[in-house]
Amino acid sequence: MPWHPTTIAAEPPLGAAPRAVVVDGRAMVLIVHDGRWYAFEDRCSHAGCAFSEDGEVNGYDVVCDCHGSEFDVRTGAVLRGPATVPIATFPARAGSGVVEVEL
């Protein structure tokens, strides 16, 4: 699968907030945690709320503020319901000065 560049700088400032981007037509959120980039879809699998509007990232977890579902950004696994379906995650890396996502 090819790597797609984003508009997000590969070297984020300290304490960088999650960033919403669209990569090849897919809405996703990029975060950096412990020096590593993570990309996950920008929709909760429970009710479709956008994490970029109604979500909070705490370490490796993203919580949907709509109904409280919690997911692991590394795997997409549901950590707490009411969601029962994982979210999609995508490999992400720093490359050529910007973050790249593999689709």
Q: Looking at residue 12, what is its pLDDT?
A: 73
pLDDT (0 to 100) of residue 30: 95
How confident is the prediction along the chain (103 residues), in pLDDT tens digits per residue?
799 999 998 887 666 789 999 999 999 999 999 889 999 999 999 999 999 998 999 999 999 999 999 999 999 999 999 999 999 999 999 988 999 999 9
Measured CA distances, 32 to 29, 47, 48 (Å): 10, 25, 23
Check which CATH number belongs to the domain holding 38 and give it. 2.102.10.10
Residues 6+ apart with CB under 8 A from 15: none
So what's the pLDDT on residue 13? 66
pLDDT of 17: 83
Which structural domain range is residue 77 located in? Answer: 3-102
- Angstrom distances, CA of residue 68 to CA of 28, 57, 59, 74, 96: 19, 12, 16, 18, 37
Give the pTM.
Answer: 0.92
The domain total for the chain is: 1
